Amino acid sequence: MNVEILPVRKRLFLGLLAFSLVGVGLLLSGIWYLVFRDNRTLIDQILLLALAGLLVGALVIACFGTGGIILTLLYARDIAVLRGPMRVALNLLFPIALALGRVFHIDQDRIKSSFIEVNNQLVRSKEFKLLPAQILVLAPHCLQWSGCPHKITVNIDNCRRCGRCPVNKLLALRDKYGIHVSMATGGTLARKFVREYRPRAIVAIACERDLTSGIQDSNPIPVLGITNERPFGPCFNTEIRIERVEEALQFFMRRS
């Protein structure tokens, strides 16, 4: 069995996860100390013990989940029995990892990019063979050329396919494979499209901030996140390498 050496980008998020576990452990130690202080009433002790019990349970699950994430990344194999703990670890420790990043002056987009890389590899450790109609491509509205007079967030077929922006290429992929493609102005509209199409997998295109929140919101639907390119700054005439989108589609459909 081959073991992969984890790239630096993935190690950043995993390192912050480990520090987050240490932080939760220290918090638990502090609560344990407060429980047995002489000036605590019985009710205070009971409440603190209950809180400590919840933290112990969460910490144990998060430890198993973090271990499962590391093993999955190293061996590139899905560990079905640890899917639940891995989900708990990601959802519970991700905000703590971001907070630690602020303390250590680590750029938040770097952390979120590392999270996206980890998520993508976890998704790729699973086996998929989906029909095109079971896949949804979610794209941000900022891919549309800023000077375009046509509103395509409600109906993407309003696009005139002039070729000035990547929307034409996304529609070409839709025509080629028969997938669903939608453009969203934010999380509310994105969630509406997910409810409407009920996909079994999502290819999401967005900035680091929107991708991380979208991946968590879509859970347990598997999401492959693709970061957009921003040659003119955020949320304005952004770009996407269309071959990355097509490769993600082929992965879910298992086409070569």
Domain annotation for the chain: domains and CATH numbers:
8-124 (no CATH), 132-253 (3.40.50)
Q: What is the pLDDT of residues 6-33, one digit of tens each?
A: 555 678 999 999 999 998 888 888 877 7
User: What backbone phi and psi angles, to 5 degrees, belong to 226?
Assistant: -125, 115
Pairwise CA distance, residues 43 & 23, whole Å: 26
When the pLDDT of each residue in the chain is averaged and rounded to a whole number, the result is: 89
Q: What is the pLDDT of residues 74-88, one digit of tens each?
A: 888 899 999 999 998
pLDDT class of 38 with cuts at 50, 70, 90: low
Q: Is the pLDDT of residue 203 over 70?
A: yes
Per-residue pLDDT, averaged over 185-202, amounts to 93
DSSP 3-state assignment of 180?
Answer: strand
Q: What is the pTM assigned to this prediction?
A: 0.87
Distances (CA, A) of 47 to 23, 27, 38: 21, 15, 15
Residues whose CB is less than 8 angstroms from the CB of residue 44 and which lie 6 or more positions away in sequence, other chains included: none
Amino acid identity, position 64: F
Can you give the pLDDT at residue 4?
Answer: 47
Nearest to 227 by CA among 248, 201, 256, 251: 248
Q: Is the pLDDT of residue 39 over 60?
A: yes
Q: Quick one: how far is CA 13 from the chain centroid?
A: 12
Check residues 3 and 42 and name the one with the higher pLDDT.
42
Q: Is the pLDDT of residue 45 over 80?
A: no
Give the H/E segment covering residue 147: none
